[in-house]
Amino acid sequence: MKRTLAAAFGLLSCLILAACGGSDNVTVLRMAHTLDTGHTVHRAMVHMNERLQEYSGGQMRIDLYPGGQLGNERELIELLQIGSLAMTKVSASPLEGFVPAMQVFNVPYVFESKAHYQRVLDSEIGKQLLDAPLPVRLKGLGYYDAGSRSFYTVKRPVHTPADLDGLKIRVQESQTALRMVSALGGAPTPIAWGELYTALQQGVVDGAENNPPSFYLSGHYEICRYYTLDEHTAVPDLLLIGTVAWDGLNDEQQVWLQRAVDDSVAYQRELWETDSNAALAAVEKAGVEIIRPDKSAFQDQVREMQASYKGTEVGQLIDQIAAMGGQ
């Protein structure tokens, strides 16, 4: 039995940190995500791989598996935990099922501006949240910008929360996202990202919510003709590595990887604003009606939900984040 377990562990280790090509002695990190190859996140990962090879003098590289080839976000997280995959990018939304503190990103209107959001991610609060997954065998390496999430719908334009009444809205696998859509009057429906296009097409849901590049690159704008920029949440993408993979690297390799990650985060932030504006222009040109509502009506609708976190860990985080606003 011990020999069998050792062989199984050895196989998993080879999948993650295999030295390729015998004498080449290259450490390969397998990394998967669910996004299109045109997305800023994927392009930032390509940049990360280039920088990692440069920093390591060719001793390390990252093999990328985009477009959900290896599973949805929850499945990718689980692959990291058991050591069958080294790295992934996931939204903070499904991660809250593993790390309750991540709920804070799904509480609507926690951030007062884009500058406030970036300031928090770069602060000690942001660093603490990156380390929060360690007890579940995950380590956060950095945040990718995912902008703000807004509603898009197939048939009914949304100008106020009342317009969401009775609409089935796709959400990520997040109890907080479920609460948020319910508080705004919609009927939240969890559906995997890869299944959403068909669900919209077939009327399984009446709409969804996401940032402009994801709305555009997914092709959802072909079905959903209304996009309401209520910007209810700013949910970052987290770059994760499994602790099995991280602990398998020596100190020098960890430094190389973290430097490459930091470079890719800065690169992705530069790309994001340009790509987000371009996505909005593209969907509008395709005939989507862009609605810029009075956000105060949406903010008022969720005040009770925000207040419900008082006295909890998430409530403390909300207060700490609020204290960093207005700077």
Domain boundaries, the chain: 2-91+130-144+237-269
Assess whether pLDDT exceeds 80 at residue 1: no
- Report the distance separating Cα 260 and Cα 48, nearest Å: 5
- Average pLDDT of the chain? 91
Hey, what's the torsion of the CAs at 257, 212, 207, 217, to 10 degrees? -70
- Report the distance separating Cα 18 and Cα 32, nearest Å: 16
Hey, what's the torsion of the CAs at 116, 45, 70, 23, to 10 degrees? -140
Least reliable range by pLDDT among 6-10, 71-75, 188-192, 269-273: 6-10
Confidence of residue 327 (pLDDT cuts 50, 70, 90): low
State which amino acid sits at residue 74.
Answer: R
CA distances from 154 to 41, 221, 288, 317 (A): 27, 9, 10, 35
**Percent of the chain predicted with pLDDT > 70:** 92
- 277 CB neighbour count, 10 Å cutoff: 12
Three-state DSSP state, 141: strand
Assess whether pLDDT exceeds 50 at residue 85: yes
CATH number for region 2-91+130-144+237-269 = 3.40.190.170
For every residue of 22-66, DSSP letters joined together read GGG-EEEEEEE-SS-TTSHHHHHHHHHHHHHHHHTTTSEEEEEE-
How do residues 3-41 score in pLDDT, each as one tens digit? 333 333 444 444 444 433 333 689 999 999 998 898 999
Which of 64, 128, 23 has its CA nearest to residue 264?
64
Task: Order the strands of the 187-190 sheet from edge to edge.
Answer: 187-190, 168-171, 207-210, 149-153, 226-233, 289-291
Three-state DSSP state, 300: helix
H-run or E-run covering 179: helix 175-183
CA distances from 106 to 173, 253, 308 (A): 11, 34, 14
